[in-house]
Structure formats: structure tokens, C-alpha cells
């Protein structure tokens, strides 16, 4: 743990993973890599970086495609554990995905993306950054130049990425301005100054310590050439590259491709800053940034690529968070039915900026991202309200209501992408167009309806869904 501030910190758990997937699709079960085996508690934030994620020529001409087998597999798994998609982007054959718990959304803003091509061979780096409780966090995914002899090229690519990954936030225009940077990828640093027989012997006898002295990245960092002020967990796992595809056997056939720790995760904590006169610049809310590494591991059980996936888990200190309500409070709908007009009511905190281009999505529970809607409406513009809230109503035309009943949520999206999701309703039932499931006429009052037991956990948001009886509602 790097340190503590004068104010008690809130600790968030972060999982990061990197994998050069060699254009292969996802295996049937990726829960082991993401640490989501039976009984495991999900982390608060997940950041996934893939390289060679469908690197075919067709894929390179369709970078705007948001869903592919990998994004679908990641979304289905993580959203079923109470997370939602914050950001997904694929560029240069690189894919970066960030998922967060829905209860963190009120504290997250200024989500931005940046990219840089570091060489004419198509290698590069991409980054997602956001602000959470006034702390700035950046995740980077990269793929650098291969082969042991291209060490200096990789070093230049690192500096190019640091220089050209830029953002519009005035407080964090540069990558290294952030309080936290977690950088993952296929860095492609190799083992050198060692022969294939010695490498094979060390791996066979599980003498990993003997190989670390030949690792280019560790040596370059120690000499201060790259990744200054970045940290890495102790490498206690065998080299993650190069394997014969669909096997667990190293490929020693090409001397240019010795088994190496190509796939890595580096992390940086912003050091204290000072004014020109030497006065310390305080951190937000007097909380000093701190990352506690819990785990750094390879996952050799997967064999659909010539690389093995790598993961790391941290505890990240942020300023304290209360149970902050979302900026937009959506009134829980009552007595909605298929193909019948309805009215959405919601209240917006006075300090929250709204736009005529904000929109409200009606999604089935299990939604994963902005386009998982059955229908949507533009936000209302007529204001009333009191007590520092603005009250709104907006109608949903019967023609656009769902044709099939089920459990739904309303999600308020800001037109300002730096703000993202501003409100999520609790789950509610939309009944069939003629009768409820129990044959109760739709013109019945809520008190006439029998209790409906739909208590469960929403697969995407972690919000507890509880349909209550009339006596509970009155209470």
C-alpha cells in the first residue's frame, strides 16, 4: 500500500486483464480468467485489453462495430454479475472494454478515449480515462513491435504513446497527469542473451527466477529507459508466449520467438506534486492515491492462442462515497401494459445539466449498454418542481411500447457523453395488453393486484428487484 491520506479512503476493487488472442474467438468459459469462478465476489471495475482481436482485413475496415464474439462474451458474463458497460472500443486490432458496478455511475464522469498508431506495421496504443470522485483513472491497452532485436523500437513506441495519448479534460490532458494509470498489453519485450536450451531447462524445472535476469522490460525499467514510476507485480508465472496454438506446449522452433513475458500489466500512482515555492499541492479531499496489488497471474488453462492471458487485481483508494442518489430519479412506473400509452415521470437535481437531446431508454432487465432498448423517448423540456429538483413528465406513444410483457427498467442517458448514464429506475413489470398474468383487469388499482414474487438480482445493474404487495407499498 502506497500510503494513506488525512481523510479515510474508500477502496474499490479493480481487475485488469490482457490477452493477445491471435484473432481467435473467446473460449466457451472465460470466468476463470476474470476471477468469476463459483462463489467469487465480482470486482467494482473491470478493464479488459485484447490484442489481435480479429485482425483480419475485414475487421480493420469495420472498427465501429461494437458487438463481436469477444464483446458479447465479456458483456454477457460481467453484466450477469451486476456490472454494466462503461466503454468499449476496437481500433488497430486492439479492443478495450471497461465495466463498472451501476452504483458507481453517479460518481463517474468525463469518460474519454484516445488512440495513437505507434508504427507503420499497425501497432499502437488506445486508452480510456474517466473521473471518479475527483480522482482521474486511465486504462491503456497496447501492442508493440515484435522480435528481440527491436528493443529500441519498442522503447520509442512507449514514448510515442505517452506523448500522443491526449485528452480534453483540462486537469488531465496528458496520460501521466492521471492519479492512476493501469497499462496492459502485448508489450512484446523478450528474453535475450540466453539460449533456447537454457530457457527450456528453466521452464521445465520451474526455475522462473533464473529467467527474469534475461527479461528486456525489467532491464530497461531498471536502467530508467521506459516506464519510469510504473510498478509491476512479481512475475511468478512462466512466460506467456510462445505456445503452439491449441496446445499447452511451448513452440521452440523459431529462435527469434523464444518463450517470453510479452504480456504484462504496469501501474502508476501519481506522486506528490509541489508548487514552485515547494508547497505541496493537496490531493482531492485530502486522500493520497494508493494502489494495493492483490494478485498478478497467468492463466495457462486457455489454449486458443499462442499467448496465455494475464490478469491483475488491485484495491484502489478514492475519496469516501456516500450512498449518493443518481442525478435523475425516475419514478417507479405503475400499471404499464403492452401497446398502451404510458407516462414517464422523473426529477433532476438542480445542479445537473440537461439537454433536449437527452433520452430515456426502456430496456428489459439484463440490458448491457445504450442500444439494448425496446424503445426510447427524448427527455421532456417543461420544468416545474421544488426543493432543488426539477420535475418532468414525458409520454410514450402506444405504438412504440413493447409487444411482449416482462421486467423492464428505464435508463436516462445524457447527450453529454462525459456524463453518461444519469438515472436508472428500479425494475418493474409491463403486463400483457389485455390482462395481467393473474387475470386482473388493467383498470384495477394497485391495491387490487395480488403480490407478485419477482425478487431477483438484475443481471446488468445489480439493483434488487422487489415487487411488493399493496400493504408494503403503503408502508
Question: pLDDT tens digit string along 117-168?
Answer: 988 777 999 999 999 988 999 999 999 999 999 999 999 999 999 999 999 9
Contact of 81 with 102, CB cutoff 8 Å: no
Between β-strands 45-51 and 94-101, what pairing exists: parallel, antiparallel or unpaired?
antiparallel
Question: pLDDT tens digit string along 104-131?
Answer: 988 898 999 999 998 877 799 999 999 9
Task: Identify the pLDDT of residue 263.
Answer: 98
Question: pLDDT tens digit string along 35-82?
Answer: 998 889 999 999 999 999 975 554 544 455 556 899 999 999 999 998
Q: Which residue, among 54, 45, 48, 52, has the nearest Cα to 18 in the 3D structure?
A: 48
What integer best gives the mean pLDDT of the chain?
85
Helices (DSSP H) in 21-68: which residue ranges?
57-60
Q: How would residue 453 be classed by pLDDT, with cut points 50, 70 and 90?
A: very low
* Residue predicted with more confidence, 253 or 47: 47
Cell numbers describing residue 407:
421486467
Element containing residue 265 per DSSP (H, E): strand 263-269
Q: How would residue 475 be classed by pLDDT, with cut points 50, 70 and 90?
A: very low
Task: Identify the pLDDT of residue 63.
Answer: 52
pLDDT at 432 over 60: yes
Between β-strands 336-337 and 428-431, what pairing exists: parallel, antiparallel or unpaired?
parallel
pLDDT at 237 over 80: yes
Q: What is this structure's pTM?
A: 0.82
Task: Identify the pLDDT of residue 141.
Answer: 98
For the segment 347-351, the average pLDDT, to the nearest whole number, is: 87
Task: Identify the pLDDT of residue 1.
Answer: 39
What residues form DSSP beta bridges with 411? 361, 424
pLDDT at 240 over 90: yes
Question: pLDDT tens digit string along 289-347?
Answer: 999 999 999 999 999 999 999 999 999 999 887 766 788 999 999 889 998 999 999 99
3-state secondary structure of 439: coil
Amino acid at each position: 500500500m502506497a500510503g494513506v491520506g488525512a481523510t479515510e479512503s474508500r477502496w474499490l476493487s479493480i481487475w485488469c486483464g490482457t490477452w493477445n488472442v491471435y484473432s481467435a474467438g473467446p473460449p466457451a468459459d472465460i470466468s476463470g480468467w476474470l476471477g468469476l469462478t463459483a462463489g467469487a465476489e465480482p470486482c467494482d471495475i473491470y478493464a479488459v485489453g485484447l490484442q489481435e482481436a480479429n485482425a483480419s482485413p475485414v475487421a480493420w475496415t469495420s472498427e465501429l462495430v461494437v458487438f463481436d464474439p469477444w464483446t458479447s462474451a465479456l458483456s454477457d458474463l460481467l453484466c450477469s454479475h451486476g456490472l454494466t458497460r462503461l466503454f468499449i472500443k476496437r481500433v488497430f486490432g486492439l479492443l478495450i472494454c471497461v465495466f463498472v458496478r451501476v452504483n458507481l455511475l453517479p460518481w463517474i464522469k468525463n469518460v474519454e478515449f484516445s488512440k495513437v498508431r505507434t508504427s507503420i506495421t499497425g501497432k499502437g496504443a488506445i486508452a480510456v480515462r474517466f473521473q471518479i470522485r475527483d480522482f482521474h483513472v486511465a486504462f491503456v491497452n497496447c501492442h508493440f513491435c515484435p522480435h528481440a532485436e527491436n528493443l529500441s523500437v519498442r522503447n520509442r513506441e512507449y514514448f510515442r504513446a505517452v506523448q500522443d495519448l491526449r485528452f480534453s479534460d483540462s486537469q488531465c490532458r496528458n496520460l501521466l497527469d492521471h492519479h492512476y494509470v493501469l497499462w496492459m498489453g502485448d508489450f512484446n519485450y523478450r528474453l535475450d542473451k540466453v539460449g533456447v536450451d537454457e530457457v527450456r531447462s528453466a521452464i521445465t524445472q520451474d526455475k522462473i527466477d533464473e529467467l527474469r535476469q534475461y527479461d528486456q522490460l525489467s532491464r530497461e525499467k531498471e536502467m530508467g529507459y521506459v516506464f519510469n514510476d510504473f510498478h509491476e507485480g512479481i512475475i511468478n508465472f512462466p512466460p506467456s508466449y510462445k505456445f503452439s496454438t491449441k496446445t499447452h506446449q511451448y513452440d521452440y522452433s523459431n529462435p527469434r520467438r523464444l518463450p517470453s513475458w510479452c504480456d504484462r500489466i504496469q501501474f502508476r500512482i501519481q506522486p506528490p506534486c509541489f508548487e514552485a515555492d515547494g508547497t505541496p499541492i493537496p490531493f482531492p479531499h485530502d486522500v493520497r492515491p494508493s494502489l494495493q496489488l492483490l494478485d498478478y497471474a497467468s492463466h495457462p488453462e486457455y489454449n486458443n492462442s499462442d499467448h496465455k492471458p494475464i490478469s491483475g487485481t488491485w484495491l484502489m483508494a478514492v475519496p469516501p462515497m456516500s450512498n449518493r442518489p443518481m442525478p435523475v430519479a425516475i419514478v417507479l412506473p405503475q400499471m404499464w401494459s403492452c401497446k398502451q400509452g404510458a407516462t414517464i415521470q422523473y426529477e433532476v437535481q438542480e445542479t445537473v445539466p440537461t439537454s433536449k437531446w437527452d433520452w430515456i431508454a426502456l430496456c428489459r432487465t439484463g440490458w448491457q449498454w445504450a442500444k439494448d432498448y425496446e424503445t426510447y423517448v427524448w427527455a421532456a423540456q417543461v420544468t416545474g418542481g421544488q426543493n432543488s429538483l426539477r420535475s418532468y413528465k414525458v409520454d410514450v406513444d402506444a405504438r412504440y411500447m413493447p409487444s411482449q410483457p416482462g421486467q423492464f427498467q428505464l435508463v436516462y442517458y445524457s447527450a453529454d457523453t462525459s456524463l453518461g448514464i444519469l438515472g436508472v429506475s428500479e425494475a418493474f413489470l409491463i403486463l400483457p395488453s389485455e390482462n395481467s398474468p393473474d387475470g386482473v383487469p388493467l383498470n384495477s388499482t394497485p391495491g387490487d393486484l395480488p403480490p407478485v414474487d419477482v425478487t431477483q438480482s438484475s443481471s446488468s445493474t445489480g439493483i434488487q428487484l422487489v415487487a411488493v404487495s399493496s400493504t408494503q407499498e403503503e408502508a
